[in-house]
Amino acid sequence: MNILRTTEAVFQRSLLSPELRHVRGFIFDIDGTLALMDKKEHRLDPFDGAIAVVEHLNRLNIPVIPFTNGTFQTPREYSDLLFDAGFRFVGSDVLTPSVVAAEYFVKHKIGKVLVLGGPSVSHSLTELGIEVVRTGGDAKGIQAVLVGWFPEFTMPDMQAACDAVWGGAQLFTVSNAPFFAGANGRILGVSGAISAMITSTTKARVTVLGKPSLHGLRLACHRMGINPSEVAVVGDDPSLEIAMARKAGAVGIGVMTGIAKRPAFDALPQDHAAHIVLDSVGDLLRTGLLDAA
């Protein structure tokens, strides 16, 4: 497949390869792609054209799912922030790794989980009837440890997690990303740092449930009623959204408003690279891809 790269995003539908024309749904990253999180003001600041892209897709009845690796808020709280910022997602709930984790645990009959994280991490699990344990709680029968957004992490939490893993529990993390884009600079990827400490101590394998694993992409495609090959994933991180898209056989679209700039996208080998790299998500309106979908 030809890789299209432009800083002006002036190419038309005629330049899109046949594979790109088969897109029937979109997965959008939030932080660094649609908007930037201002944690001090507790709001999302949309990028120019981002709201217009979502509105255009709504008019075309093309399904869209926002998918963030963040777990410092519940899906409903993310939805409210997006709504307050001006985004309207028709029939789509925000997908977070906690949602993916809950679905994964139910599917694999994991019923008791030690959660390193607050209510925003455990909310989706309790909604599906999974027993959530905190540090100091009943450790008997813990089947999994889930690491999420947890800046309050302490050494007793470390001990509890390692004890559970040594006792046979599987280790999961919402994300291994070292950081993500915020309005005031890079925001530390807490879950990746914590899970690295646990794996260093226990030598256990950690399973990532957020991006770039395919668990979330498959769940999103199931909700949209399409195949992975029919979805376009739009994001600012080549190691997350683009890697996830390429592993799934989906279309990867990179934007340079967050973590990565052009050198980071250009450095990837062709079979791992984004199919299209844009200055910003608003440039999607000028590619012809939306109408082709």
DSSP H or E segment with residue 290: helix 289-292
Whole-number Å distance between alpha carbons of 292 and 248: 21
**What is the rounded CA–CA span in Å between residue 221 and residue 233?**
11
pLDDT in tens, 259-269: 889 999 989 88
pLDDT in tens, the chain (293 residues): 444 444 333 333 334 556 566 899 999 999 999 998 877 777 899 999 999 999 999 999 999 999 999 888 899 999 999 999 999 998 778 999 999 999 999 999 999 999 999 999 999 999 999 999 999 999 999 999 999 999 999 999 999 999 999 999 999 999 887 666 655 667 666 888 999 999 999 999 999 999 999 999 999 999 999 999 999 999 999 999 999 999 999 999 999 998 889 999 989 888 899 999 999 999 998 877 777 66
Task: Provide the 3-class DSSP secondary structure of residue 281.
Answer: helix
Instruction: Give the tens place of pLDDT for each residue, 161-210.
Output: 999 999 999 999 998 876 666 556 676 668 889 999 999 999 999 999 99
Its sign, for the CA torsion 108, 110, 111, 115, is: negative
pLDDT computed for residue 8 by the predictor: 39
Report the distance separating Cα 256 and Cα 152, nearest Å.
32
Domains and CATH numbers, the chain: 4-67+227-292 (3.40.50.1000), 97-208 (3.40.50.1000)
* CB-based contacts of 80, cutoff 8 Å, min separation 6: none
**For position 293, what pLDDT does the model report?**
63
CB-based contacts of 85, cutoff 8 Å, min separation 6: 35, 43, 44, 45, 46, 51
Query: Distance (Å, rounded) from C-alpha 234 to C-alpha 21?
Result: 15
User: Both ends of the chain: CA-CA distance in Å?
Assistant: 17
